[in-house]
Amino acid sequence: MRNDHLTGLTRRGVLRAFAATTVAAAPTFANAFGFLRGAGDIRRITMYSGRTGESIDTVYWIDGEYIPEALNEISYFMRDWRNSQTIEIDTRALDIWAAAKSLMDTDEAYMMLSGYRSPETNAMLRSRSRSVARNSLHMKGQAADLRMHNRSVKQMARAAAACNAGGVGKYSRSNFVHMDCGPVRIWGG
């Protein structure tokens, strides 16, 4: 299988990079070492959307650099599906999602329930539910609501909290975890 983002690398080099557990790049913010310890020299995101039926499996960071084309692809994938509006997804959030997934030691893709939300969508959802924040980080491209079939809400939340780099909301009744790159905090049950 050919991945254009990896062209020019040997298979052995890719395997070595996936096995790496140290960070080659400088931290992007204060808690970077706390959550990047599991991300390695290659960072990859795998998700699918139950809303659009689309999926994404892309390497977005390699050898200390983000890949602009991959970031654009991720931002489009995570668009507000109600009106197709997009925003640049914050790389700090991507790093948290990738590190948490690595800590869970699973090949399963995240199921994205909610990525970017336009202000109009957020206002509509807020009018229907008290659990939607007025100034949601979803509107800034800094949050996602994620689910996995082979990991529980508790397992996902524990992995995200271990990153010590953003907000983690446990929504056990709805079977998803909110992960963001805002202030470190944990809520829900």
What type of residue is 184? V
CATH number where 150 lies: 3.30.1380.10
pTM: 0.78
Task: Provide the domain limits for residue 23.
Answer: 4-188
Q: What pLDDT, on a 0 to 100 scale, did the predictor assign at position 40?
A: 56
Q: What pLDDT, on a 0 to 100 scale, did the predictor assign at position 130?
A: 84
Instruction: Encode 130-168: b = buried (16+ Cβ within 10 Å), e = exposed.
Output: eebeeebbbbbbbbbbbbbeebebebbbbbbbbbebbbb
Total number of domains in the chain: 1
* Terminal Cα distance for the chain, rounded: 41
Mean pLDDT by 10 residues, the chain (189 residues): 42 39 35 50 94 96 95 98 97 97 96 97 92 92 97 97 96 96 94
